[in-house]
Amino acid sequence: MKYPIKLVFALLLVFLSFASTTQAQEVIKQESCDTNPFRTAIDSLKTVFSNQGYIVLREASMTMQSQYEMPIVVPMNQGSLYQFVFIGEPSSKLYEVRMYDFNERQVVYKKNQWGDVDGNIISYAYMPQFSEYHMIKPVQVNKTKKKLCGYVLLLKKVKN
């Protein structure tokens, strides 16, 4: 009779410790933001790239913190041509995008400042040498706002 009680007690302890551990772990979820200020630019870019033979693979708005990178992980296939677009808030002073391959080697670095011709939009084409995951890290710096809105668009050239 003592053995089943000990077993039940042990199982109860395991269950309670598991339940408290899962509740203690924080879930970090990316928050979207209002893209209305970017809507005309987004629609124009989609039209331009669509006319050049690209299709949209992924797009998302994201709440960003000033001066902090927002990592984005995407799978890319060798020999395919991709176009990446990042749109930051027009009031930010600096915009940067870095892209790393699977071996954490930086393969792209783009930087725009507030007065540049491209302004708050960074766009670049990329053809990976290997089929692997890549990490893209956009960042923007704003002296007046801490929470910012950013928009990313990943397109792929369709072979005819």
pLDDT in tens, 41-91: 999 999 999 999 999 999 999 999 999 999 999 999 999 999 999 999 999
pLDDT at 27 over 60: no
Give me the pLDDT at residue 6, please. Answer: 58
Residues in the chain: 160
Which band of pLDDT confidence, cut at 50, 70 and 90, is reported for residue 20? very low
Buried b (16+ CB within 10 A) or exposed e, 77-114: eeeeebbbbbbbbeebebbbbbbbbeeeeeebebebee
Phi-psi region of 79 (alpha: psi -120 to 50; beta: other; left: phi over 0): left
* Token code pair at residue 58: 């992924």
pLDDT tens-digit profile of 92-118?
999 999 999 999 999 999 999 877 767
Q: Domain coordinates of the chain in residue numbers?
A: 36-157
In sequence order, the β-bridge partners of residue 153 are 59, 85
Q: First and final CA of the chain: distance in angstroms?
A: 74
Q: Are the CB atoms for 137 and 94 separated by under 8 Å?
A: no
Region 23-35: what's the mean pLDDT? 66
Question: In this predicted model, which residue has the larger pLDDT, 99 or 4?
Answer: 99
Give me the pLDDT at residue 119, please. Answer: 82
Give me the pLDDT at residue 38, please. Answer: 84
pLDDT tens-digit profile of 119-144?
899 999 999 999 999 999 999 999 99
In angstroms, rounded to a whole number, what is the distance separating the alpha carbons of residues 89 and 77? Answer: 30
Q: Comparing C-alpha atoms, which of 88, 77, 99, 91 is closest to residue 157?
A: 77
Query: Is domain 36-157 classified as CATH 3.20.20.80?
Result: no
Q: What is the DSSP string of 18-67?
A: HHHHHHHSPPP-PPP---GGGHHHHHHHHHHHHHTTEEEEEEEEEEEETT
0.85 cut: is pTM over it? no
